[in-house]
Structure 1
Amino acid sequence: MKKTKYNLLNKRMYMTAGTLKKIPLLSIILLFSFSPYQKELKTEYYYNLQYLKESSSPRQMTMIDIDNLGRNKPTLNNGTLFTYKNREVMKAAIAGNFSSWQPRAMKRSKFGVWYYFLPGENNDRTISYKFIINGIWTPDPMNQIRENDGSGSYVSLADPVTPFMSKQLTYRALGKNTIEFRIYKPGARFISIVGDFNNWNPENDLLTQHKDGVWRLTKRIPRGTYRYKFIVDGEWVPDLYNIKSASDDNGDICSILTIE
């Protein structure tokens, strides 16, 4: 692949020059000064992708994969979702610098949208990629950020997912039988924790919000294995950054804590 001295910001400015001429300079400065990646990523369940109706430019999000329950694998990953829509396509794949340009198969939704989710929170380089549609290599038609590939065509470009996009916190041990529960929810108003250790009582253990947007609770718990969940403004949610999880009595996801 042909390299270029321009960074991704310069490519954006180059590819959209016709549009930027109509925008005041101050607006352009503001556009690139406030990055949306400083906010918490949108969270989605992986199985919901089968219901995608429309394609879009690459979207960065946090994906929950419940198939990893009980496999000691992360149920949650930050990454980038790539999509391509064409009901007449029989086979679609994606290749890029993340795969050494080896094609990776894409899946098809019930509405004709092909999709591929690329985990990559620790990848700090720009993603270069192309779709392979019915055997033909093509840039992403929904993404106008491109560069010349040196062969008379273009490769599409996407920003990497960086670790600072969200605070990936879970509980931590502070000492013998002492656990600090943590969850990053700067916009929440009320958070408590429920589990086998407090008879699932939402009023027993309340977390305290700190200036960094992290809610915390320090609690002494006897040795054993416990299921637990957070209650965030009335909604029961698992500890998504705890890779140990199982199902509760209702079949919903809950997190697992083991104190030895």
Structure 2
Amino acid sequence: MAAAFCNLCSAFAKDNKKSQNIEFTTPYEYRVIVNEIEGVTAPYQKDDYIVFTAKDGPRHIGIVFDFEDYKEIHSFMRKTTTDIEGNIIDSVYFYILDLPKNIDSISYRLIIDGIWTTDPQNFNSYYNPYTGISVSTLSVKNNHVDETQKTDKGVHFIYMGESGQKVRLGGTFTNWDSSIYELHETRPGYYELYLPLPEGTYYYAYYTGTKSFADVTNPDRAWSGEGREASKIVVN
């Protein structure tokens, strides 16, 4: 039986030179994960990395993520397996994401030869009626912990509503300025924000556009200085 060898060849676009150089700049764990890729599968998590794979054939495959507002295109790389004579036995595209902090779900799209699409290897997707776009989704276990979340004094704000909104937070801790904090849509219609607040009593409200409203999950209510209904919370 002829011996098989794995090779990595770049599939980066010319304007994406800041992408990974596996041989020199990536950590040991990354290279181990690359060596373990055996074929095209649904995306999966390996420690603090998410592995995406795609079939060989296209000239270029890119991926964009919700936590970057779908603005930065990350190029897949190609892993090839060759025999002792250098003949290609198998080839697969892959991209490995170093999981950002404080994220428990990911929405993303692929760009295959310039065409934006969902991930054909991932059956989990949803349609956003506000943007008219379907995106692939993936739940993850995040081992990256932000130092602010290690404190035992703080508030985890949660709002549930329609997907695709910009939900802001204002209160006595911002002098009712709603432009400072915006909740993050961690999964469709589920918005979160963690604030490390010192001990005390606070009043707050959520905002969408120019409209403000109290937290329906919090029964403690009050009225803001502007005469609007607000929610009350005590951190102790």
TM-score, L = length of structure 2: 0.36
Structure holding more helix per residue = 1
TM-score, L = length of structure 1: 0.33
Structure holding more strand per residue = 2
